[in-house]
Amino acid sequence: MNIAQYIDHTLLKPAATTHEIKNLCDEAIQYNFFAVCVPPPLVKNARRVLANSSVKTATVIGFPFGYSVGRAKLIEAQQAIQDGADELDVVINLVALKSEAWQYLQMEMEDIVEAAHANNKLVKVIIESGILTNEEIIKCCEIYAKVGVDFLKTSTGYAEKGATIEAVQLMRQHLPSNIKIKASGGIRTYEQAEQYVKVGANRLGCSASVAIVTGAPQNGAAGY
């Protein structure tokens, strides 16, 4: 399995530097990762480094907690598109979810998906599956399938629990085949990465990407 082509090589720490983003992009080119995922202010930097490669540029919207108002997320998404992002990883409003404000969640993402798809960009919706019940995960599958997102994504990597095999399996069971799944949060080894792909993940968000593809020690790297 060419696991590298499933990986979004990720650096989202709040104090990320331009030098670190250049290194991230250089590694993505070297190991042929599918994409890099970087903080919104560093999208332009990543695009410059990746300009002559096939590696895509992804960024995050409403990250990491998701409780920005919908209008703020839309503006953030529009700016990311303008800056050159190919893919948007958008955190849902978990306050709304826990309040069962399903219509709000649908409307919030409809505007972002419309803006992204009008510019041929992909939207991955982060539902933070580790803190949801199975019933809430299934409801997210229903809502975001209706909206027409490109991916449902498990986690930000900032909650107390990240991706699980069970959550990916549940998502795959309740999503139409055209909507893909991104697993992220705690994936640190090749064996873990391969298992997620086998149960239905189409993309993996990882900060330990180089260790995953080379088998090298992680030196304490955080597992996004």
Active site residues: 89, 153, 182
Rg of the chain over CA atoms, in angstroms?
Answer: 16
What's the number of CA atoms in the CB half-sphere (13 Å) around residue 46?
34
| CA neighbor of 144 nearest in space, from 182, 105, 95 | 105
**Look-up: residue for tokens 């970087």?**
38
128 within 8 A of 153, measured Cβ to Cβ: no
Q: What string of DSSP letters covers 90-159?
A: EE--HHHHHTT-HHHHHHHHHHHHHHHHHTT-EEEEE--GGGS-HHHHHHHHHHHHHHT-SEEE---S-S
| CA neighbor of 112 nearest in space, from 139, 131, 132, 93 | 93
Which residues, 6 or more positions from 119, have their beta carbon under 8 angstroms from its beta carbon?
A: 81
* CB-count exposure of residue 207 (10 Å: 0-12, 13-18, 19+): buried
160 within 8 A of 186, measured Cβ to Cβ: no
